[in-house]
Structure 1
Amino acid sequence: MRKIILLLSFLSLMASSACISGLAEPASKFQLTSGIVAILTDFGTEDYYVGALEGSIYAADPSVRISTISHQVKPFDIAEGSYILAKAAMWYPTGTVFVGDIDPGSARDRRFIVLTTPDSKVFVGPDNGLFTEVIHDLGLAHAYQITNQSLMNRENESATFQGFSVYGPVAAHLAGGVRPEEVGPEIKDLVQLPVNQPEVKGSKITGSIVQVDHYGNLISNIPGKLATGAGFVPGLPLRINLGNQSVNATFATTYGDVATGQWLALIKSDGAVEVARNLENAAKTIGASAGEKVTLSPII
């Protein structure tokens, strides 16, 4: 009996120690980090700005891995940046930290924020609507205002480029394991851009051009599922209206479904409807740009 009592006492002591150990586990590390910092800016590549941003990240944590989404977003175009960031982010692993720095106007008039998505991706940048498409596509878990001075680089503070002193260092610390809630207080009232939802009226689908890509293809905000649900099938002849211009096209599966120079609409790999000319620059041909209304109508 004495042996049983001693054994039970020992097991109880071990269980208590385990509980205490679990409670004492430090909570300062973000366990789902991938160690990757992915960057999107409108800096271009001719100046020192990209190097300075990457340098500010490495200075805070030399062990992180930097991935470039793009530095060629149209200058000051928050809407285009929002779209590109969201579409790229969906392909990155859980725990990736994203820096978005497209910030026209005075940085003193806006908040610096960190937001997290339900799949544990982390975004750092200005509260100016840049993360609108991320919230729309990936969802929002939490958002925090960056106020923790110890995570910033105030020795080399820039009045014009917050990426160097705030976004880069904070992203590096997050990628290194700092928990998002450590950057500052949680906030709710995020700035978001107006989103023009596509709609179906009869046999017509109306949406907006959200991006012109490197090839001059016109990317719309029309989901492919909306088009197929409205009866758009491969080979269907279309009338496409873009601003004050209109062209005849074919609803296709791939670019090669039509002859060189012919217009088409297809569903991209990310699920959005794209308007293009096979092996030609659609945007230059018709003078279209992001923000324009687009309507697709079957030719019957």
Structure 2
Amino acid sequence: MRKLFTPALMLGILLCACTISLTVMADSAIHNNSSATGRVRAINPEWGNIDTEFVYSDLERLGITKNTTFTVQFREKSFKVMMGSTYDDVQKGEWVAFITAEGFLRIARNVDSAVMLLGCKPGDNIVIRK
């Protein structure tokens, strides 16, 4: 009896099925010297997190890296935010931001509502600066 699927063929099929594509997202913000303006994508109704259209390259252009602070501004309100990777990077009630699994910047407060203080809604423009 002849084998239809050799080990090499099975490995080739497995490799083809497991190919992962990596998409690098382009800048989505309007950059102006030391700041960038972008839109609010969504607000988490339960926690008050602000999901934005900013991507990693927007932060990189401004020199915003992990464990540094930056300012987020909406109209006349502005707050200092710690760039981290998780909510636990800051104390309860403090501002934190990180890139989500979808590749966008989330602005939040640890165990508190960011949107209640900032007051923005989806579609609004916000400004970030180092």
TM-score, reference length from structure 2: 0.71
Residue 209 (structure 1) aligned with residue 54 (structure 2) = no
Unaligned runs of 5+ in 1: 1-136, 138-196
Q: What CA distance in whole angstroms lies between the structure 2 residues aligned with 1:286 and 1:198? A: 19
Written as runs of structure 1 = structure 2, the 5 A alignment for 1:70-89 is none
Residue 256 (structure 1) aligned with residue 106 (structure 2) = no
Q: Deviations over 1:239-293 (max 9, x none)?
A: 1102321111111121111111011221111100111111111112332211221
The residue type paired with residue 102 of structure 2 is: D
Residue 224 (structure 1) aligned with residue 56 (structure 2) = yes
Q: What CA distance in whole angstroms lies between the structure 1 residues aligned with 2:38 and 2:123? A: 10
Residue 273 (structure 1) aligned with residue 105 (structure 2) = yes
Q: Which of 218, 239, 245 in structure 1 is aligned with 2:71?
A: 239
> Displacement, 1:229?
4.0
Is contact 2:36-2:127 (8 Å) kept?
Answer: yes
Task: List 4+ stretches of structure 1 deviating above 4 A.
Answer: none
The residue type paired with residue 107 of structure 2 is: V
The residue type paired with residue 270 of structure 1 is: E
Unaligned runs of 5+ in 2: 1-22
Where is the strand percentage greater, Structure 1 or Structure 2?
A: 2
Which residue matches 2:12?
none
TM-score, reference length from structure 1: 0.32
Q: What CA distance in whole angstroms lies between the structure 2 residues aligned with 1:266 and 1:218? A: 11
Which residue matches 2:129?
297
Written as runs of structure 1 = structure 2, the 5 A alignment for 1:38-53 is none
Q: What CA distance in whole angstroms lies between the structure 1 residues aligned with 2:106 and 2:69? A: 15
> Displacement, 1:294?
1.0
Which residue matches 2:29?
198
Is contact 1:243-1:292 (8 Å) kept?
Answer: no
Q: What CA distance in whole angstroms lies between the structure 2 residues aligned with 1:230 and 1:240? A: 13
Aligned-residue RMSD, C-alpha: 1.8
> If you compute each CA radius of gyration, which structure gives the higher value, 1 or 2?
1
State the identity %. Answer: 21
Q: Which of 111, 114, 117 in structure 2 is aligned with 1:282?
A: 114
Written as runs of structure 1 = structure 2, the 5 A alignment for 1:161-176 is none
| Structure with higher RCO (Cα < 8 A, 6+ apart) | 2
